[in-house]
Amino acid sequence: MTTAVDTKKLTMVQAVTDGMRVMMKEHENVIVLGEDVGQNGGVFRATDGLVSEFGEKRVIDTPLAESGIIGTSIGLAMNGFKPIAEMQFLGFIYPAFNQIMTHASRIRARTLGHFTVPMVIRAPFGAGVRAPEIHSDSVEALFTGMPGMKVVVPSNPYDAKGMLISAIEDPDPVLFLEPMRCYRSTKMDVPEGKYNVPLGKAARLQEGSDVSVFAYGAMIDVVTKAAKSAEEKGIKCDVIDLRTLYPLDKDMIAESVQKTGRAVIVHEAPGTGGLGETIMSLINDTSFLYMKAPVERVTGFDTPVPMFALEDHYLPSADRVVQAIEKVTQF
C-alpha cells in the first residue's frame, strides 16, 4: 500500500523557506533572525513571506552585526527559543566566529549539559555565482574542526527541506550551509508537510563498482557530470553525496571504498585542512587493505577564492574530476 503525499515543485531556496515555514507553524518557539530577513525576505529570498505569516516578533530584522546576531541567538536558545540565525553569506560569518567557537559550540560541554544552545545558523556559501569578493568562501572546515558543531550541506531541494527540519529539531547547534549555485539550479518534487532527512547520513546518488566519488553541495553537479563522462569511458562510479560534514557517514564511506578499492574526493574548499584529508584518514582507518590505488583529491586551492573573473580556475571542474578518476583507475 502506498500513501499519496502532496508535493510541490520547488527550487532549493524555496524548499529552505518551506522547511522554516513548516517548523514555525508547528513550534511557536522557532524564530528567524538576521539582516534583511523580514520585509525584504532575505537577499536570496530564503525568508520570503515569513514575516507576513508569522509577524515581526518571530521574523526579526536585526542590526547589521553578525556577532550580535549569533550572540543574542545564544541567549535566546538558552532561554527557550529555537533561533534560526541567517548569515547573509558564509564569508560574512567571521565577526561571529568568536561567539560560535567560544560559546555556542562548547556551552554544553562547559556545563556538563546544564546549559545548551539548540540553534541553527543558516549561511549561503560557495563560488560559481559571480558574486563579489568574500561572498564565495567555502570555509566549512573552520566549523567541522570546531568541537560541538554539526555541519550539514544539502545539494538538492528535497534534502534541503528535510535536513533543515532535522537541524531545527536537533538539540545542538547546527551550521546549515546552502550552496548558492544550487539555490535555483533545479526544481524538484518536495513533500508539502513535515519530513526528515536525517543528519549524519550520506546518500548514494549512483551505484558503481570501479571508483568511489565523494562530494557535497555544489560539487555534486560537477561530479555527476564527471561520472557520466567516466561511464562513457567504461568506468562505473559509486557517487556519494556526503550531506553531513560533521559527523561524516563513516559506514557509507567505508562500504563504498571497500567495494570499489578506489576513491576520489571533491570539494571546492582549500585542500589543506579540508574535509578531503579527514575522509582520507577515515579510509585509511577503515579500509586500508581494500585499496587498489592512493586516494585522489580534487579541491579548491590554498588561496582566497579569487574575484569572479578567475573563479572558474579555482573551482574543481568536471574535467579535473575525470582526470582524477582515470588516475586512480589506471594506477
The catalytic site residues sit at 135
Q: In what order do the strands lie in the sheet with 203-206?
A: 203-206, 237-241, 211-215, 263-270, 296-300
Residue whose grid cell is 579555482: 314
> What are 197's three cell numbers?
532527512
Number of amino acids touching other proteins (CB under 8 A): 46
Query: Among all chains, which residue has been given the C-alpha cell 546552502?
Result: 178
Looking at the Cβ atoms of 200 and 304, the one nearer to other proteins is 200
Kindly tell me which residue out of 10, 13, 20, 76 binds other proteins, with binding defined by CB under 8 A: 76
Binding residue (CB under 8 A) for other proteins from 49, 132, 171, 294: 171
Integer distance in angstroms from the first to the last C-alpha of the chain? 49
Give the distance from CA 86 to its chain's centroid. Answer: 14
Residue pair 138/90 in contact by the 8 Å Cβ criterion: yes
C-alpha 95/C-alpha 125 separation (Å) is 16
Question: Nearer Cβ to other proteins, position 69 or 222?
Answer: 69
Among residues 236, 250, 320, 327, the one that binds other proteins under rule CB under 8 A: 250
CB of 236 to other proteins, least distance (A): 29
By the rule CB under 8 A, 284 interacts with other proteins: no
- Is residue 209 at the binding interface for other proteins, with CB under 8 A as the rule? no
Q: Work out which of 2, 3, 6, 114 binds other proteins, going by CB under 8 A.
A: 114
Give the separation between CA 156 and CA 9, rounded to whole angstroms. Answer: 12
Closer to other proteins by Cβ: residue 145 or 306:
145
Q: Of 23-62, which residues contact other proteins (CB under 8 A)?
A: 31, 57, 62
Q: Which of 178, 236, 185, 215 is nearest to 296 (CA)?
A: 215
Interacting residue ranges for other proteins, rule: CB under 8 A: 31, 57, 62-63, 65, 67-68, 70-81, 95, 98-99, 102-103, 106-116, 147-148, 150, 170-172, 200, 246-248, 250
